[in-house]
Chains A and B, each alone.
Chain A
Amino acid sequence: MKRAAHDRGGWPTEEPIDRTEHELEDWELRMDAIENVLEQHGVLKTDEMRRGIESMPLVAYEAASYYERWLFTVETILEEKGVLARGEVDARMQA
C-alpha cells in the first residue's frame, strides 16, 4: 500500500539521526504562536492542521522544515475557510 508522505514509521532509510539542534528562530516561535492562538480562538483545529500538512506532495513535504510545513498548512486551511484570500499573503509581502 502506497504510503502518504507523513506516514514515516518504518519508512526505508538507514540515515543516521542528525543530532544537531537549533534554538527556534523568532519566525518559528511566531509561527507556533499563530497556529496555537488560532486554535484557541477556534479558527482551526489541530486535526485540520495535520490534514493540511498531509496534503503536501512528497517532495515538498521532505524539503520543508517543520515550521515551513506549519506555515503551509495554516495558509491552506485559512484560505479554505475564506479567512485569507488567495494571494493575500503574497500581496502583503509586496506592500
Chain B
Amino acid sequence: MTFTLGEDVRVADRPHDGHHRTPGYLKGKRGRIVRAHDTFRNPETRAYGEDGLPGLRLYLVEFESGELWPSRAKARDRVHADLFEHWLVRAS
C-alpha cells in the first residue's frame, strides 16, 4: 500500500511468529507518515533464506510520545520509526 506524506496511519496489531521489524511498543498505535524511503527487500522472508522479493516500501512514521507513554511523556515529544508498508493501514 502506498501512503502519502502527512497521512495518518495505524500500525497493525497482529501477532507475527518469526522475524519482523515492527516493535511491540508500536503495534496498534496511531502515527503519521513523515518520510517515504525506498523499497527494500522483505526482511521477514530474507530471514529464512529467501531473496526478500518483491520489495516493500519503507516509511518513517511519527508517533506522539504522549500516546505511547501517557504517564510520562512531554507533550511535544515524538518517536519516529521505520516501518514497512504491510504493517500500516490508513487510520480513519
Contact = CB atoms under 8 A, between A and B. Distances in A.
Contact, chains A and B (beta carbon distance below 8 A): yes
Interface of A: 1, 3-4, 7, 9-10, 45, 47-48, 50-51, 54, 81
B27 to A, nearest CB: 7
Contacts, number: 37
Nearest to A52: B47
B25 A48 contact: no
Chain B interface residue count: which class? 10 to 19
A3 B24 contact: yes
A7 B24 contact: yes
B23 to A, nearest CB: 5
Interface of B: 13, 15, 18-19, 23-27, 43, 46-49, 52, 68-69
A4 B18 CA distance: 10
Main secondary structure of the interface of A (DSSP, over half): loop
B25 A9 contact: yes
A47 B15 contact: no
Contacts of A50: 19, 43, 47
A48 B23 contact: no
